[in-house]
Every structure is written in C-alpha cells, then in structure tokens.
Amino acid sequence: MHPNNILSSLCYFSVFFAPFLFPIIVYFVAETNVKKHAKSALGMHLVPFITVVGLIIVTITLGFSNLSDTVNGGVLIAVGMLAVIINIYYFILNIIRGIKVLNENE
C-alpha cells in the first residue's frame, strides 16, 4: 500500500468528514496521479450538492405556481425521491472507488 494510494482513497472517503475541503487541498498539494483522483472525488461530491440545490429550486418554483396542492406534493415527492436515490448512489460510489484505489498496486 503506497502513500499515494492512501491519499487518493482518502479523497473519496472524505464524503464522511470534509466532502469539498479535503479534495481541494489534496488537488493543490499532491502529485499528478493523486490530483486525478482528487479532481474525480470533488466532482463526485458536487453531484449530491447540485441535486439538493435543484430540489430547493423546484420547491421554490412550486411555491409560486398555481397548481393544486396535490400536484405540488406529488412533484415534490417525486423530485425528492429522485434526489435521494442519486445521493445514495454517489455516496456508495465514493466508498467503492475509495476501496478500489486503496487496493491498487502501482
């Protein structure tokens, strides 16, 4: 197990403790191979953030709409469930990539 592999896998595992801060720091400090993983991990940490922002925008937009409460509720539930599914997928994907990078041989 190489220190570069540990640092690269920590970029993915940072979803538990510092999703944006750790990959950014590693990206500016580390070597080329580790930078690639830091950039990838940062992109994978941004997707759940973007889905939450999208959910907030949909909620605000529906608040100003003239649709019935039933339609608003249905749309919010559907979009919320989609956001949760996407976030769980990327959370698990970060763990899988972290383990895969940790087990790589250089």
Helices in 1-106 by DSSP H: which ranges?
A: 3-13, 21-29, 32-63, 69-102
Name all contacts of 72-80 with Cβ < 8 Å and 24+ positions apart: 79/54, 79/55, 80/55
Three-state SS at 11: helix
For 41-91, write each residue's pLDDT tens digit.
999 999 999 999 999 999 899 888 888 888 888 999 999 999 999 999 999
pLDDT at 106: 61
Angle (deg, nearest 10), helices 32-63 and 69-102: 170
Domain ranges of the chain: 3-102
For 8-47, write each residue's pLDDT tens digit.
999 999 989 988 899 999 999 988 789 999 999 999 999 9
Residues 6+ apart with CB under 8 A from 21: 14
